[in-house]
């Protein structure tokens, strides 16, 4: 456990390093901390912090910089929020609209406010169908028409093992509409499994195929929107390290790892901070992610955040992400 003096010095060191980007020496730290301590005492405390793995000494300087562990302690226990920034001026940018447009605008807003990268996952829809029709197009060919509660229409051609009459198909669509309309597709799939013995085999297969059509339609949406990747090219910490830049752009290109990370943070309350280098969660050591879930009608449906260098103004990023998540929730919850 750190005593109050060590905490004050660590806090001052992290804040000074975030502001200047230069290793912090004991003389600078003495002024920044406001503590009346001798240079020898400060050096001793710095040595203790270094032994604990909270700060490190670059070879080229007598000063110290925070480690991933030091940043983690700072954001978890030492970070003090500054007075709230006014956000009325940009609230109008996230007016109720098509969900995908709100998501795109939110990613751009996060990027422009942070000067880093804004990322927003698309809202997870609970896949629900409102109405379904099966139309016979010819021998063993059936057109599935599925209508969602918000009016989206999906059409898919399905091939059946046996030829079905239009009467068979009407019976199947009537059954689905009567017993399953308004339920999520996952629930429909489970119920079909348990009721399959009561249905003729080919009709059961057709109804299962219809459920798959609905799921595929959901997966066709872009899973996330990323805005401002090029901002990282101008970050001083990255501009001389092509290896770091390449790893970062690979992360944005593949998206899968980013999706997994944001999916984890969607199960947490409020703003979460992931710091590269402290675990395998963030694959690029020099990156941090500040994220928060957003809701529609009180249910968490996605995550948004800012991706930038570990040397970022965390207090400001937390506020940007928190405000944007609330604005997205409001915009998407208004019908």
DSSP-assigned states of every residue in 235-275? -HHHHT-HHHHHHHHHHHHH-HHHHHHHHHHTTSSS-EEEE
Residue range 244-261, pLDDT digits in tens: 778 788 878 777 777 777
Give mean pLDDT, residues 193-219. Answer: 64
Which is higher by pLDDT, 279 or 64? 64
From residue 218, give the alpha-carbon distance in Å to each of 97, 124, 129, 154, 202: 19, 9, 11, 10, 25
Of the CA atoms within 13 Å of residue 127, those in its CB half-sphere come to 20
Residue range 59-73, pLDDT digits in tens: 766 789 999 999 999
Give mean pLDDT, residues 35-45. Answer: 88
- In this predicted structure, the answer to whether residue 56 has a pLDDT above a threshold of 90 is yes
Q: Over 122-189, what HEC string results?
A: CCCCCCECCEEEEEEEECCEEEEEEECCCCCEEEEEEECCCCCCHHHHHHHHHHHHHHHCCCEHHHHH
pLDDT at 10: 94
Residue range 133-174, pLDDT digits in tens: 889 998 888 888 888 776 677 788 888 888 888 988 898 888
Give mean pLDDT, residues 269-283. Answer: 80
- In this predicted structure, the answer to whether residue 94 has a pLDDT above a threshold of 70 is no
pLDDT at 46: 92
Q: Both tokens of residue 272?
A: 């979460």
Q: Residue 303 in contact with residue 121, Cβ under 8 Å? A: yes
Residue for token digits 């406001």?
34
- In this predicted structure, the answer to whether residue 89 has a pLDDT above a threshold of 70 is no
- In this predicted structure, the answer to whether residue 301 has a pLDDT above a threshold of 80 is yes
> What value, to the nearest 5°, has the Cα angle with vertex 237 and ends 46 and 79?
50
CA 56 to chain CA centroid, Å, is: 30
* pTM greater than the 0.75 cutoff: no
pLDDT at 113: 92
Q: Residue 67 in contact with residue 75, Cβ under 8 Å? A: no
Question: What residue ranges define each of the domains in the chain, with the CATH number in brackets?
Answer: 4-67 (1.10.10.10), 88-122+222-333 (3.30.450.40), 131-219 (3.30.390)
pLDDT at 71: 94
Identify the DSSP state of 197.
G
């Amino acid at each position: 456990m750190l005593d109050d003096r060590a905490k004050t010095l660590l806090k001052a060191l992290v804040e000074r390093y975030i502001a200047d980007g230069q290793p912090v020496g004991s003389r600078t730290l003495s002024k920044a901390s406001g503590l009346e301590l001798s240079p020898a005492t400060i050096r001793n405390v710095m040595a203790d912090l270094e032994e604990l793995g909270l700060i490190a000494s670059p070879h080229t300087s007598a000063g110290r910089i925070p480690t991933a562990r030091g940043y983690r302690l700072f954001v978890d226990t030492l970070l003090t929020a500054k007075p709230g920034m006014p956000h009325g001026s940009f609230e109008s940018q996230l007016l109720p609209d098509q969900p995908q447009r709100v998501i795109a605008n939110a990613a751009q807003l996060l990027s422009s406010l942070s000067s880093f990268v804004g990322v927003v996952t698309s809202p997870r829809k609970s896949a629900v169908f409102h109405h379904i029709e099966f139309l016979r197009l010819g021998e063993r060919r059936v057109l599935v028409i599925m209508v969602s509660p918000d009016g989206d229409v999906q059409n898919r051609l399905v091939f059946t093992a046996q030829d079905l009459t239009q009467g068979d198909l009407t019976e199947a669509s009537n059954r689905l509409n009567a017993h399953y309309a308004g339920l999520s597709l996952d629930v429909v799939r489970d119920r079909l499994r348990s009721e399959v013995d009561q249905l003729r085999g080919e009709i059961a297969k057709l109804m299962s195929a219809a459920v798959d059509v609905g799921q595929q339609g959901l997966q066709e949406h872009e899973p996330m929107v990323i805005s401002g990747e090029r901002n990282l090219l101008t970050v001083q910490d990255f501009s001389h390290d092509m290896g770091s830049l390449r790893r970062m752009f690979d992360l944005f290109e593949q998206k899968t790892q980013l999706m997994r990370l944001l999916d984890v943070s969607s199960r947490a309350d409020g703003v979460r901070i992931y710091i590269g280098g402290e675990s395998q969660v963030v694959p690029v050591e020099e990156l941090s992610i500040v994220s928060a879930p957003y809701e529609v009608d009180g249910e968490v449906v996605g995550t948004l955040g800012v991706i930038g260098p570990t040397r970022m103004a965390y207090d400001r990023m937390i506020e940007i992400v928190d405000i944007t998540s609330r604005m997205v929730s409001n915009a998407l919850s208004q019908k």
